[in-house]
Amino acid sequence: MSTQETPRRATIADVARAAGVATSTASVVFSGKAKVAAATRERVLAAAAELGYAGPDPRAASLRRGRSGIVAVVLEGHLRAAFLDPVTTAMMDGLTDGLAELSAGILLLRDEPGEEGSALANAPVDAFVLIGCSGRTRASLEVVRGRGLPVVVIEGDAGDGIPRITLDNTEASADVARHLHDLGHRDVALVTLPLDTERERVAVTPDRVATATVDVTVDRLAGLREVFPDAPAISASGSLIDEGVLVGRMLLADAAARPTAVIAQSDLLAVGVIRAAEELGLRVPEDLSVAGFDGIAVDGLADLTLTTSVQPAVDKGRAAGEQVARMLRGEPGITQHLTCRFRAGTTTAAPAGR
Amino acid sequence: MSTQETPRRATIADVARAAGVATSTASVVFSGKAKVAAATRERVLAAAAELGYAGPDPRAASLRRGRSGIVAVVLEGHLRAAFLDPVTTAMMDGLTDGLAELSAGILLLRDEPGEEGSALANAPVDAFVLIGCSGRTRASLEVVRGRGLPVVVIEGDAGDGIPRITLDNTEASADVARHLHDLGHRDVALVTLPLDTERERVAVTPDRVATATVDVTVDRLAGLREVFPDAPAISASGSLIDEGVLVGRMLLADAAARPTAVIAQSDLLAVGVIRAAEELGLRVPEDLSVAGFDGIAVDGLADLTLTTSVQPAVDKGRAAGEQVARMLRGEPGITQHLTCRFRAGTTTAAPAGR
DNA sequence: TTGTACGCGTTATCAT
DNA sequence: ATGATAACGCGTACAA
């Protein structure tokens, strides 16, 4: 239009000058922090439009305010792996909720410490949410702590005074096990989540458990062992339906040594086991009871309702978000313990008399 | 230790003063942009440690550099819905790859325009990646464009000179249809993705198609119609296995009017259809051929390999990331057309002679 | 209601 | 190799 092509983008000072007002007035027009005469506002807005000024530069505003409006979520491993897990996505959903009052954005960060130019160290964020950081390297945690920003840990332990969001994994697992025991099952097999970052599909021996690094797996196993101390167990290489199918086949292949029930540490694994059972012509729950953990809406289960322990995945995220909000308000963050709720479904029943 | 408790965090100026060097020198120690005598570096680092200085404030650095190291990814609807879709997650994976050279973080943003304090308008980001923005409100796009930052659109059209990453949805769909036609199928039913944001599960009529707003659905349908102009079609309410089951039941319920093949517009829907078929005692592919679209690794398909068109989901993301990187380097972004590759699987075969 | 002036913490430039 | 200085663009006391 009438403007020359300028070498640099217009600033609020340019707008103010063009509108014939002070920069502070122009600033207020955009922030709305004070009342401005309608006529003045109009002039400022017109000048802004004329200059192609699209509002305050967020970078400068961040510096000035001391806030960027961004919260970092630190995940282990590839983003893809993280979001393949429905529990994680549900949690992220809750997190956006909990963060809503801050209208903060969520910056996805991978847990890759060490590097100098690491985003972990240099991202302009206001707070950190660490997820499942059991196997997390100390270095990574140090970087985050060193920044002196609010930190919340979901299902993990960052030591010291860092607020956590935890789950009663052990108790909830015991509940599931007890349900099957009450139904009369004595011959039960277990399918666990990975024991460590190796993610090997192996028989779970006491030795392996001793060196396991994934807290969730160990905690849930402890609960199951309270009821079935000697049940055979296989650790899956991940929480996937197809992985459950593979492990299910291993457990059910031998008709003679077949358990009457299988307890999996995740719903996805449980669905896989059910599918493996169906392959073998076993009916669930008549011939085999199957229970899971998580209580997610499993896509692909059709009419069956899985017996499981429903974890408050969304609440986990929301609670974390709320703690972040608190801490950014200057209040101390507090650790919150969330509990799972047992849900009897249609995939478990009394064992068939033999 | 020896430091008094200070009201504010130490700045690089404090560190420089304590170390007896200029702030610029201290700055260089942290940025590594120039050579510094080892002894000097040591002194600066020591002073920093003493003062608890954890490195430059990213907000200030962003302002000064004019870069925040963050790229915004704008998704439609809830984050959860987005990440439930394996294609999206794969794409995000590729995006992180493509962005790797920038070592930029990814800021997840929802497409919610209008609001004044919207993150879309105020987030300190260096560029935008818009995903599947077919139904996107013009307002949202305006906000983004107004910021004058690099923008790349994946499978959508933002008009003007905005670089896009596109897919040959129509041609690829035609390939799938042709495969079934070549096998001898004449009685084929179609399962489409949602037509619009209403996401209703309805019969696809020409009227509905005319008012459809989701480009992907329309484009793929066009390809299928090239080969099967009159095939009955139902639009699913989403790309989910269970949704495929529901639609599959609708299509297969009536044994008399049963098609010999079903083409779904996504692999998840196809898996659902297969499951519906199995429920009805139909064997795939002997009694029913089923084809999908996407070529993702579907969890829960067990031994079958889906006949499908493999879309370069990861490449889509990577390409977008690379364009962003280019544009941030000052080079013009270029539109890239990616192509799908047909994959014959074990879920399609010649129709049983009747 | 509007304007002035300063500082947020850093880094790039230039000179030494 | 190191230092002085000037922006970067904005928000907000404070004064008028």
A94 and A208 both lie in a single domain: no
- How far apart, in whole angstroms, are the C-alpha atoms of residue A194 and residue A239? 8
Of A6-15, B92-101, B266-275, B334-343, the range with the lowest mean pLDDT is: A6-15
Domain boundary among B293, B310, B327: B310
Please report the pLDDT score of residue A4 as a whole number: 40
Distances (CA, A) of A3 to B34, B142, B185: 40, 20, 63
Residue A330 has a pLDDT of 87
Do A36 and A137 share a domain, yes or no? no
Rounded alpha-carbon distances, angstroms, from residue B78 to A88, A110, A296, B38: 14, 22, 17, 51
Regarding whether B283 and B223 lie in a shared domain, the answer is yes
pLDDT for residue A224: 98
Is there a single domain that holds both residue B286 and residue B321?
no
Residue A332: Cβ-neighbour burial (10 angstroms; 0-12, 13-18, 19+)? exposed
Q: How far apart are CA A340 and CA A312, in angstroms?
A: 6
* CB-CB contact of A239 with A209 (8 Å): no
Q: Phi first, then psi: what are they for A325, rounded to 5°? A: -60, -45
Residue A205 lies in a domain: yes
Q: Which of B85, B66, B41 is nearest to B236 (CA)?
A: B85
Q: DSSP string of B14-71?
A: HHHHHHTS-HHHHHHHHH--S---HHHHHHHHHHHHHHT--S--HHHHHHHHT--SEE
Q: Quick one: pLDDT at residue A343? A: 97
pLDDT at B199 over 80: yes
| Contacts A108 to B, Cβ<8 Å | 105-108
CB A34 within 7 Å, strand C: yes
Contacts of A300 in chain B (CB under 8 A): 241-242, 245, 271-272, 275, 300
The 3-state DSSP class for residue B192 equals strand
The sign of the torsion formed by the CA atoms of A168, A170, A175, A177 equals positive
Q: Per the domain annotation, does A89 fall within a domain?
A: yes
Pair B80, B205 in one domain? no
Which protein residue's Cα is closest to nucleotide C7 at C1'?
A64
pLDDT recorded at residue B68: 94
On whether residue A186 sits in a domain, the answer given is yes
CA–CA separation, B91 vs B72, rounded Å?
14
- The pLDDT, as a whole number, for residue A135 is 58
Question: What CA–CA distance (Å, rounded) separates B69 from B58?
Answer: 10
- Of A72, A121, A275, Cβ closest to residue B55: A121
Q: Say yes or no for a CB contact (<8 Å) between B271 and A300.
A: yes
CA of A65 to C1' of D11 (A): 8
At residue A116, the pLDDT reads 58
Per-residue pLDDT of A309-344, as tens digits, reads 999 999 999 999 999 999 998 899 999 999 999 999
Q: Which residue of B has its CA nearest to A62?
A: B59
In whole angstroms, what is the distance from residue A174 CA to residue A192 CA?
14
Answer yes or no: is B226 within a domain: yes
Stretch A203-227: mean pLDDT: 94
Q: Of the candidates B124, B93, B263, B115, which has an alpha carbon nearest to the alpha carbon of residue B187? A: B263
Q: In whole angstroms, how far apart are CA B252 and each of A117, A124, B271, B287? A: 57, 54, 14, 11
Whether B35 sits with its Cβ under 7 A from any strand D atom: the answer reads: yes
**Residue A107 near residue A120, CB atoms below 8 Å:** no
Residue A84 maps to a domain = yes
Residue A354 has pLDDT above 60, yes or no: no
HEC readout, chain A: CCCCCCCCCCCHHHHHHHHCCCHHHHHHHHHCCCCCCHHHHHHHHHHHHHHCCCCCCHHHHHHHHCCCCEEEEEECCCHHHHHHCHHHHHHHHHHHHHHHHHCCEEEEEECCCCCCCCHHHHCCCCEEEEECCCCCCHHHHHHHHHCCCCEEEECCCCCCCCCEEEECHHHHHHHHHHHHHHHCCCCEEEEECCCCCCCCCEECCHHHHHCCCCHHHHHHHHHHHHHCCCCCEEECCCCCHHHHHHHHHHHHCCCCCCCCEEEECCHHHHHHHHHHHHHCCCCCCCCCEEECCECCCCCCCCCCCCEEEECCHHHHHHHHHHHHHHHHCCCCCCCEEECCEEECCCCCCCCCCC
Q: How many domains does chain B have?
A: 3
Q: Say whether pLDDT at B125 is over 90.
A: yes
Interior CA angle at B339 toward B333 and B340, to 5°? 140
Q: Is B262 helix (H, G, I), strand (E, B) or coil?
A: strand
**pLDDT over 70 (residue B116):** no
* Domain shared by B288 and B233, yes or no: yes
Among the partner-chain residues B62, B79, B109, the one whose CB lies closest to the CB of A62 is: B62
- Asked whether B98 and A85 are in contact (CB, 8 A), the reply is no
Closest protein residue to C3 (Cα–C1') = A22
Which residues of A fall within a CB distance of 8 Å from B89? 79-80, 83-84
In this structure, of A56-65, B152-161, B163-172, B194-203, the range with the lowest mean pLDDT score is: B152-161
pLDDT at B354 over 70: no
Closest CA to B108 of B74, B152, B70: B74
Q: Within this chain, do residues A174 and A300 fall inside the same structural domain, yes or no?
A: yes
Residues 266-305 (A) near nucleic chain D, CB < 7 A: none
Could you tell me the pLDDT band of residue B305, with boundaries at 50, 70 and 90? very high
Residue at minimum CA to C1' distance from nucleotide D12: A24
* Average pLDDT across chain B, whole number: 89
Amino acid B2: pLDDT: 38
Q: How far is it, in rounded angstroms, from Cα A129 to Cα A122?
A: 15
Q: Which residues of A touch B98 (CB under 8 A)?
A: none
Angle at A46 between CA A42 and CA A47, to 5 degrees: 120
Does residue A197 sit within a domain?
A: yes
Cα A304 from Cα A9, distance rounded (Å): 60
Q: What is the pLDDT of residue A352?
A: 87
* B345 token code pair: 């699987």
CATH number at residue A122: 3.40.50.2300
- Asked, for residue B354, whether it belongs to a domain, the answer is no
Residue B63 is predicted with a pLDDT of 94
- Which A residues 262-281 have CB within 7 Å of strand C? none
**Do residue B270 and residue B299 come from a single domain?**
yes
Answer yes or no: is A282 within a domain.
Answer: yes
The per-residue pLDDT for A156 is: 81
The pLDDT score that the predictor gives to residue B252 is: 96
Amino acid at B192: T
Q: How confident is the model at residue A113 (pLDDT cuts 50, 70, 90)?
A: low
Residue B11: CB less than 7 A from any atom in strand D: no
pLDDT for residue B7 is more than 70? no
Residues A80 and A210 in one domain: no
**Is pLDDT above 70 for A137?**
no
Strand partners, A127: A71
Residues A75-111 have pLDDT tens digits of 876 777 777 788 988 898 899 888 887 878 899 887 7
DSSP letters for B99-167:
TGGGT-EEEEEE---S-TT-HHHH---SEEEEES-TT--HHHHHHHHHTT--EEEESS---TT--EEEE
Q: Could you tell me if B163 and B179 lie in one domain?
A: no
Average pLDDT score, chain A: 89
Instruction: Give the strand pairing for B188-192 and B261-264.
Output: parallel
Domain of B128 in residue numbering reads as: 67-167+313-340
Q: Is the domain of B97 the same as that of B161? A: yes
Q: What average pLDDT does this structure show over A29-51?
A: 88
- How confident is the model over B341-349, as a mean pLDDT? 97
- pLDDT tens digits for range A231-247: 999 999 999 999 999 99
Asked if A116 reaches chain B (Cβ–Cβ under 8 Å), the answer is yes
Q: Distance (Å, rounded) from C-alpha A348 to C-alpha A304?
A: 10
- Chain B 59..88 CB hits on strand C (< 7 A): 60-61, 63-65
Window 35-94 of A, Cβ < 8 Å to B: 52, 54-63, 66, 68-70, 72, 78-80, 83-84, 86, 89-90, 92-93
Nearest CA in chain A to B304: A242
> B161: Cβ–Cβ under 8 A, 6 or more apart, which residues?
none
How far is Cα B338 from Cα B155, in angstroms, rounded to an integer?
10
Contacts of B109 in chain A (CB under 8 A): 105
Q: Does A123 touch chain B (CB under 8 A)?
A: yes
Q: What are the tokens at A34?
A: 């004070």
Contact A302 B54 (CB under 8 A): no
Instruction: Give pLDDT, residue A301.
Output: 72
Does nucleic acid strand C have an atom less than 7 angstroms from the CB of B118?
Answer: no
Interface residues 8-27 of B with strand C (CB < 7 Å)? 8-9, 11-13, 23-24, 27
Q: Which nucleotide in the DNA or RNA is closest to residue A9, CA to C1'?
A: D9
Identify from A299, A301, A303, A316 which residue to disrupt to test chain B contact, counting B C-beta atoms within 10 A and taking the largest count.
Answer: A299
Q: How far is CA A125 from the centre of its chain?
A: 18
Would the CB atoms of B93 and A79 count as touching at under 8 Å? Answer: yes
Distance from C-alpha of A145 to C-alpha of A104, rounded to nearest angstrom: 21
Residues B118 and B249 in one domain: no
* Torsion over CA: B134, B135, B139, B144 (sign): negative
Rounded percentage of chain B residues whose pLDDT exceeds 90: 67
- Exposure string (b/e) for B193-225, b if CB count within 10 Å is 16 or more? bbbeeebeebebeeebbeebebbbbbbbbebbb
pLDDT band (50, 70, 90) for residue B101:
confident
Among all protein residues, pick the one whose CA is nearest to the C1' atom of D5: B24
| Distance (Å, whole) CA A304 – CA A215 | 30
Interface test with chain A among B41, B45, B63, by most A beta carbons within 10 Å: B63
B250 touches strand C (CB under 7 A): no
